[in-house]
């Protein structure tokens, strides 16, 4: 693996398989009371410029289970929040810590942090990418369907950070991807360029019904992400018809599972009935953040 995990483009198919294999082992060990304190004495700094439930709790708990510790650093606690250049923050934190996880808005900030840090940097979420969530998603698909290669994923909704990372991650893992996004809400251009190199394993559609036909996995996300609250009303209009509901699920394969990175807005991107019918896979997906991130932390902070 590279020194940092900044987006799914950083990972090869072999990297993804290695992370998921280790995550599976750690999940098994945890459930059977087997300690795996691979990061004894290591410290992870966690920079939060966006609020979070799952990211903070899963990373903090993960470091504890690995024998290390995690420091919560909000932008109010750092000089970066008062205008210190990110390159200076990166060089200072590299003298104290063994790794940095950052959850922020601009991908550029994460890239700059990694460029100047001598320690690994992990992207906990940006407006462009959400690699840790997608590793948990792939782990869940492999658990539920016993494979990644040959599986068809349908994503319905906004071409946001989840859509970007799911597209890259699923194609890298050998899956086929059908996206249904409204015009004007496409994934990032670099993601489309990457995806189109996979030929007929990738489709960008405007019709959710066509995208869902025969799918093994259906994924979605909120119509207005954090920081887009002012656009919420306009987005509700633009996304009419792009809801995961019983009609959509009836077009999928009978064994199809549903993924949602949470929080879910029932009645908007997904109906309450579909959410509850597939709650087991959705909350497996949430749990797998813990295991997938522990694997990433171990491979980056304590490489064998």
Predicted confidence at residue 189, as pLDDT, reads 98
Residue 211: which pLDDT band, with cuts at 50, 70 and 90?
Answer: very high
Mean pLDDT value across residues 80-101: 90
Which residue is catalytic, options 132, 154, 252, 261? 261
Which residue is catalytic, options 103, 235, 260, 291? 103
Helices (H), 199-278: 208-212, 232-238, 246-251, 272-277
Residue 221 catalytic? yes
**Entry pTM:** 0.96
Which residue is catalytic, options 133, 216, 243, 252? 133
Which residue is catalytic, options 38, 54, 130, 260? 130
- Cα–Cα distance between 143 and 128 in angstroms, integer? 27
- Cα–Cα distance between 286 and 230 in angstroms, integer? 27
Which residue is catalytic, options 142, 144, 289, 291? 289
- Cα–Cα distance between 199 and 183 in angstroms, integer? 21
Predicted confidence at residue 52, as pLDDT, reads 87
Residue 203: which pLDDT band, with cuts at 50, 70 and 90?
Answer: very high
Which residue is catalytic, options 54, 65, 221, 260? 221
Residue 278 catalytic? no
- Going by the DSSP 8-state scheme, the letter that residue 302 receives in this structure is S
């Amino acid at each position: 693996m590279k020194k940092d995990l900044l987006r799914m483009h950083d990972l090869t198919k072999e990297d993804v398989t290695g992370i998921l294999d280790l995550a599976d082992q750690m999940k098994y060990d945890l459930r059977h009371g087997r300690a795996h304190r691979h990061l004894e004495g290591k410290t992870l700094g966690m920079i939060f410029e966006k609020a979070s439930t799952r990211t903070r709790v899963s990373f903090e708990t993960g470091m504890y289970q690995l024998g290390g510790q995690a420091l919560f650093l909000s932008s109010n606690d750092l000089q970066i929040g008062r205008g210190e250049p990110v390159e200076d923050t990166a060089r200072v934190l590299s003298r104290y810590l063994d790794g940095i996880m950052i959850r922020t808005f601009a991908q550029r900030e994460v890239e700059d942090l990694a460029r100047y840090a001598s320690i690994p940097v992990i992207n906990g979420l940006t407006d462009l990418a959400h690699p840790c969530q997608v590793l948990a998603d792939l782990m869940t698909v492999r658990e539920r369907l016993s494979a990644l290669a040959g599986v068809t994923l349908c994503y319905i909704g906004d071409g946001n950070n989840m859509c970007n990372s799911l597209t890259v991650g699923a194609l890298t893992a050998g899956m086929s991807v059908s996206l249904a996004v409204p015009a004007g809400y496409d994934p990032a251009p670099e993601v489309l360029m990457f995806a189109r190199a996979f030929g007929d394993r990738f489709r960008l559609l405007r019709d959710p019904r066509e995208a869902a036909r025969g799918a093994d996995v259906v994924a979605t996300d909120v119509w207005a992400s954090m920081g887009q609250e002012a656009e919420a009303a306009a987005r509700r209009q633009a996304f009419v018809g792009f809801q995961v509901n019983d009609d959509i699920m009836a077009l999928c394969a009978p064994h199809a599972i549903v993924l949602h990175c949470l929080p879910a807005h029932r009645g908007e991107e997904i109906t309450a009935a579909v959410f509850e019918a597939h709650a087991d896979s959705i909350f497996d997906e949430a749990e797998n953040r813990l295991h997938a991130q522990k694997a990433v932390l171990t491979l980056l902070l304590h490489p064998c």
